[in-house]
A and B are shown apart, each in its own frame.
Chain A
Amino acid sequence: MSRTGARLDAKKVNSELFTLTYGALVTQLLKDYENVEDVNKQLERMGYNMGIRLIEDFLARTGSGRCYDFRDTAEKIQSGFKIFLGITPTITNWSPAGDAFSLCFETNPLTEFVELPDHCLNLKYCNILTGVLRGACEMVQMEVASWFLQDQLKNDSVTEIRVKFVKRLEDAIPAGED
Chain B
Amino acid sequence: MTVHNLYIFSRNCTLLYYAEWNRLNKSGMTKEEEAKLMYGMLFSIKSFINKISPLDPKDGFLHYKTSKYTLNYLETPSGLKFVLNTDNSAQNVRGLLQQLYSQIYVEYVIKNPLCQLNEPIQSELFKNKLDELVKSSPYF
Binding site for B on A (CB under 8 A): 1, 3-6, 8, 52-53, 55-57, 59-61, 63-66, 139-141, 171-175, 177
Instruction: Let me know if A139 and B78 touch, CB within 8 A.
Output: yes
Q: What B residues does A1 contact at CB under 8 A?
A: 111
- By beta carbon, the residue of chain A nearest B98 is A63
Write the nearest CB–CB distance from A145 to chain B, whole angstroms.
20
Q: Cα distance A136–B105 when bound, in Å?
A: 17
Instruction: Let me know if A60 and B101 touch, CB within 8 A.
Output: yes
Instruction: Let me know if A64 and B77 touch, CB within 8 A.
Output: yes
Instruction: Let me know if A140 and B77 touch, CB within 8 A.
Output: yes
Instruction: Let me know if A56 and B106 touch, CB within 8 A.
Output: yes
Q: Cα distance A5–B105 when bound, in Å?
A: 12
Identify the stretch in B16-24, B35-43, B65-73, B85-93 within 8 Å (CB) of chain A at 4 or more residues: B35-43
Contact of B79 among A57, A65, A139, A175 (CB under 8 A): A139
B122 interface residue (CB < 8 Å to A): no
Q: Cα distance A57–B78 when bound, in Å?
A: 11
Instruction: Let me know if B103 and A6 touch, CB within 8 A.
Output: yes
Q: What A residues does B128 contact at CB under 8 A?
A: none
Instruction: Let me know if B105 and A56 touch, CB within 8 A.
Output: yes
Given known A53-B110, A174-B39, contact A59–B103 (CB-CB < 8 A): no
Instruction: Let me know if B103 and A141 touch, CB within 8 A.
Output: no
Q: What B residues does A174 contact at CB under 8 A?
A: 13, 36, 39-40, 43
B76 interface residue (CB < 8 Å to A): yes
Q: Cα distance A171–B11 when bound, in Å?
A: 8
Q: What A residues does B76 contact at CB under 8 A?
A: 56, 59
Mind listing 8 A-B residue pairs with CB under 8 Å? A5-B107, A8-B103, A53-B117, A56-B76, A139-B11, A140-B78, A174-B36, A174-B39
Q: What B residues does A52 contact at CB under 8 A?
A: 117
Instruction: Let me know if A55 and B78 touch, CB within 8 A.
Output: yes
Q: Cα distance A5–B79 when bound, in Å?
A: 24
- By beta carbon, the residue of chain B nearest A49 is B113
Given known A63-B98, A177-B36, contact A172–B106 (CB-CB < 8 A): no
